[in-house]
Chain A
Amino acid sequence: MAVSTKRTQGLADKHFHYCPGCTHGIIHRLVAEAIEELGVLEKTVGVCPVGCAVFAYDYFNCDMIEAAHGRAPAVATGVKRVLPESVVFTYQGDGDLAAIGTAETVHAAARGERITTIFVNNAVYGMTGGQMAPTTLLGQKTTTTPFGRQSSVAGYPLKVSEMVATIDGAAYVTRVAVNSPKNILRAKKAILKAFNVQLKGLGFSLVEVLSTCPTNWGLSPPEALRWVKEKMIPVYPLGDFKVPEDEV
């Protein structure tokens, strides 16, 4: 029998608006596949960010809400508490989650909200034209750090997974990347696990995904994949930062 890679039912039949080679598209597919495979498409509610993924509500084939910038975990909290049987996720960039939305993220984790956050770290504000994000690497050139980020002026890259893992309400915190087929498969497993943690009611789950922004990095899409491997992963090491004691 012939087996075929199938387009997931978790995505609507739309073309993404993302730039060529932007890995937001890969992450969308992984999240959609996970929701479909767990059989929870009908009861999933996603919350979109402000950022390049602002139109994600057009792409996912489940109920979607658009939150104000950075507030997705607060909106997700409301949904989950009113509809505890639903599966709730937020999809947020690093500007959204790690700058304007830091408080919402930290306190959703501290409250142990049974929601799943997909945190897309591309080390830059993509949508607004490539300004420095809290996650921008030291020395990285952005439109607001034209000579490279200097710690004396702009501080240090914020390591969100490491930080969230210190919070008791966080049950599962992991960092993955989508820069190679192998890492994409690992990222898929992590996303499935995060949703399982939510389904088991174990607490807050966060999957940080190292992603590319070829447009604002000034690199071709293949070069951007290499940049993740050579520059980002050494600063943002991959792996689990917290796993539930009751392993899932």
Chain B
Amino acid sequence: MPQVFFENERCKGCELCVTVCPKKIIALSAGEINSFGFHPAVLTDGTKCTGCGFCFLVCPDLAVTVVREEGGNGESTDEGE
């Protein structure tokens, strides 16, 4: 199963990853706050992640890492428009 990691201290809570995730499984953490005062992004349901990497592509602050098995689907049915 693909895994997605957020580096909380890099995250500025901009929600671009939230917007582009085709599975709608990213949200800003309501309870957590980083040392810059931002609510960092978190996964709400990692089991639905396809490993498409859209969150990584759109993050302006290099806060996202996506790990998936080689040959695993890693594709999205979404066009990423």
Task: Spell out A's residues near B (CB within 8 Å).
Answer: 1-5, 7, 11, 15-16, 18-26, 29, 180-182, 184-185, 214, 220-222, 225
Distance (Å) between the CB of A222 and the closest chain B CB?
Answer: 4
Q: Once the chains bind, are A222 and B70 in contact (CB under 8 Å)?
A: no
Q: Once the chains bind, are B60 and A222 in contact (CB under 8 Å)?
A: no
Q: Once the chains bind, are B15 and A5 in contact (CB under 8 Å)?
A: no
Q: Known contacts A16-B60, A20-B14, A26-B58: does B66 contact A4 (CB below 8 Å)?
A: yes
Q: Once the chains bind, are B60 and A26 in contact (CB under 8 Å)?
A: yes
Give the residue name and chain of the A residue nearest to B53 (CB): A5
Residues of B in contact (CB 8 Å), total: 32
Beyond A21-B16, A26-B57, list 19 extra A-B contacts (CB 8 Å): A4-B68, A15-B61, A16-B61, A18-B60, A20-B13, A20-B14, A20-B38, A21-B15, A25-B59, A25-B60, A25-B62, A29-B62, A180-B80, A180-B81, A181-B52, A181-B80, A214-B14, A221-B16, A222-B18
Distance (Å) between the CB of A142 and the closest chain B CB?
Answer: 22
Task: Spell out B's residues near A (CB within 8 Å).
Answer: 9-10, 12-16, 18-20, 38, 52-54, 56-62, 64-70, 74, 79-81
Q: Once the chains bind, are A11 and B14 in contact (CB under 8 Å)?
A: no
Chain A residues, Cβ within 8 Å of B16:
21, 221-222, 225
Give the residue name and chain of the B residue nearest to A27 (CB): B60
For A3, A22, A220, which residue has the most chain B Cβ atoms within 10 angstroms? A3
Bound Cα distance A185, B81 (Å):
11
Give the residue name and chain of the A residue nearest to B56 (CB): A5
